[in-house]
Amino acid sequence: MDNANTDPQVKIEHVLDLDSSGNGRSRLKRRLVWGVLILLLVFAAVKFIFGKNGTEMLYTTQPVAKGSLTITVSATGNLTPINQVDVGSELSGIIDSVSVDYNDRVTAGQVLAKLDTSKLESQVLKSRASLASARAKVLEAQATIQEAESENERLQAVQKLSGGKAVSQHDLDAAAAALERAVAVKADAEASVSQAQATLDSDETDLSKALIRSPINGVVLVRSVEPGQTVAASLQAPVLFTLAEDLTQMELHVDVDEADVGQVKEGQSAEFTVDAYPERRFPAEIKQVRYGSKTVDGVVTYETVLHVTNADLSLRPGMTATADIIVQKIEDAVLVPNSALRFEPPAAEESVEEDTGGSVLSKLFPRRHRPAKKRMDDKQKRVWKLENGQPVPIEVTGGASDGIKTEILSGDVSPGMELVVDSRSAKQ
């Protein structure tokens, strides 16, 4: 075997395209290449060593506080009057006049609108005439009865005076039958009077319904009729007006998610906002949590009714409101920021690598820090405090949380203690 093929120096010269037997230019070129390689290795080593030693972790902390913790459930809905009434017409006809407009205050019995009554008035007159005719027939029947009674009495007297010879029994039976017929005719006439009276009452009622009146004291929210408009009342009465009884007392109907409905109870207080007054929070109180559910796009909610006082009438029916229902309030609680519970320091590098120094490649290309694996159940949590500039873990038991702060039920933390909430690396 050729020694030139086994000599490492020859292999390097061959790879670098250098010939040791060449002229001075080749030797200079070889020396320059080796010098550049050595400088690169030195630079990489210095960068790794000083870059690593020149990096430190900076930690951001926040103090443990003591105070009250309020747990709320959010829900959206709309404002409605406590008593809202739709006023319609039972009769068909043409609107003759309208007496109220939007936002007008009305009292119970006040005329809101009037239908054309010409046909109804003529029908009432006709019914009154029929009643008068029926009553006249009663008087006629009464006279017939008196006549039949007189004839019957006369025949009985003649029979008695003649000893039964002047009047036959047939004549007496005929007179008695005539009297009974007269009584029957009177009864029929009296029934006709009752029927005519009922027809008149019905027609007069229809005439009175031509005046559409307010059933309550309230405010006109909707007016959907104009003079001259034809109203067609068939199976369902058309709605002409919508009235709200009292706008100083209103209700807020919100949809509470099924995950939160178990915490919502009657009597709990709440606050809500509306788009019209974004900087103002209105108080409310839970009045009812309904058992019936609503499902929209797979989301199950339960309608909850809140009582609202609207003394200044700033709130209006139909406004969309976002309510925060206070389901729990804790006083004098030890509170830590939720960011402190989420914080985990970066894990240190493998101890074996630190002891042995690692390979050249591992030094040239160091691995990134891997975050420590998170564990803990819903209650058992971990926070970190700084000792000599390094984070030290503290095991704690968490309680209620409002999404920003969490109550600490047990653990070696106290108000004022600084806990780590974030970290970042920085060059020295």
Q: How far apart are CA 228 and CA 223, in angstroms?
A: 14
Q: How far apart are CA 419 and CA 394, in angstroms?
A: 10
DSSP per-residue letters across 235-291: SSPPEEEEEES-TTEEEEEEEEETTTGGG--TT-EEEEEETTEEEEEEEEEEEEEEE
H-type helices in 67-168, by residue range? Answer: 118-161
* pLDDT value of residue 373: 45
Q: How far apart are CA 241 and CA 99, in angstroms?
A: 11
CATH topology of domain 56-68+334-427: 2.40.420
Residue 320's CB: how many other CB atoms inside 10 A?
Answer: 13
| CB distance 193 to 127 below 8 Å | no
Q: What is the CATH number of domain 72-82+243-329?
A: 2.40.30.170
Q: For 10, left (φ over 0), alpha (ψ -120 to 50), or beta?
A: alpha
Nearest partner of 371 among 348, 343, 346, 339, judged by Cα: 346
Q: How far apart are CA 310 and CA 8, in angstroms?
A: 97
**Alpha carbon separation from 226 to 88, 106, 237 (Å, rounded):** 13, 18, 16
Nearest partner of 293 among 252, 256, 253, judged by Cα: 256
Q: How far apart are CA 406 and CA 413, in angstroms?
A: 13
Sign of CA dihedral 312, 316, 322, 323: positive
The two domains 72-82+243-329 and 87-114+213-242 share their CATH topology (first three levels equal): no
Q: How far apart are CA 79 and CA 383, in angstroms?
A: 44
Q: How far apart are CA 3 and CA 179, in angstroms?
A: 164
Residue 69's CB: how many other CB atoms inside 10 A?
Answer: 21
Sign of CA dihedral 197, 198, 203, 209: positive
DSSP H or E segment with residue 311:
none
The residues, any chain, with a CB within 8 Å of residue 134's CB and separated by 6 or more, are: 189, 192, 193, 195, 196
Q: How far apart are CA 342 and CA 82, in angstroms?
A: 46
- First CA to last CA distance, the chain: 57
* pLDDT value of residue 194: 93
Query: Which class for 313: exposed (0-12), middle (13-18), buried (19 or more C-beta within 10 A)?
Result: exposed
Pairing of strands 84-88, 269-274: unpaired
Per-residue three-class SS string for 364-424: HCCCCCCECCCCCCCCEEEEEEEECCEEEEEEEEEEEECCCEEEEEEECCCCCCEEEEEEE
Beta bridge mates, 190: none
Any idea what DSSP says for residue 131? H
Half-sphere exposure of 197 (CA within 13 A, CB side): 7
- Whose structure tokens read 């939720």? 338
Q: What is the pLDDT along the chain (428 residues), one digit of tens a residue?
A: 444 444 545 454 554 454 445 556 677 777 787 887 888 887 776 666 555 555 677 888 899 999 999 999 999 999 999 999 999 998 999 999 999 999 999 999 999 999 999 999 999 999 999 999 999 989 988 888 888 888 777 777 777 777 766 667 777 778 788 888 888 988 998 899 999 999 999 999 999 999 999 999 999 999 999 999 999 887 677 899 999 998 999 999 999 999 999 999 999 999 999 999 999 999 999 999 999 999 999 999 999 999 999 999 999 999 999 999 999 999 999 999 999 899 988 764 443 344 444 444 454 445 544 444 444 456 788 999 988 888 999 999 988 888 899 999 988 888 999 999 998 876 55
Residue 106's CB: how many other CB atoms inside 10 A?
Answer: 21
- Whose structure tokens read 């070889």? 30
Query: Which class for 178: exposed (0-12), middle (13-18), buried (19 or more C-beta within 10 A)?
Result: middle
Q: How far apart are CA 416 and CA 385, in angstroms?
A: 12
Beta bridge mates, 392: 385
* pLDDT value of residue 360: 43
In this structure, CATH architecture of domain 87-114+213-242? Beta Barrel (2.40)
What residue spans define the domains of the chain?
Answer: 3-53, 56-68+334-427, 72-82+243-329, 87-114+213-242, 117-209
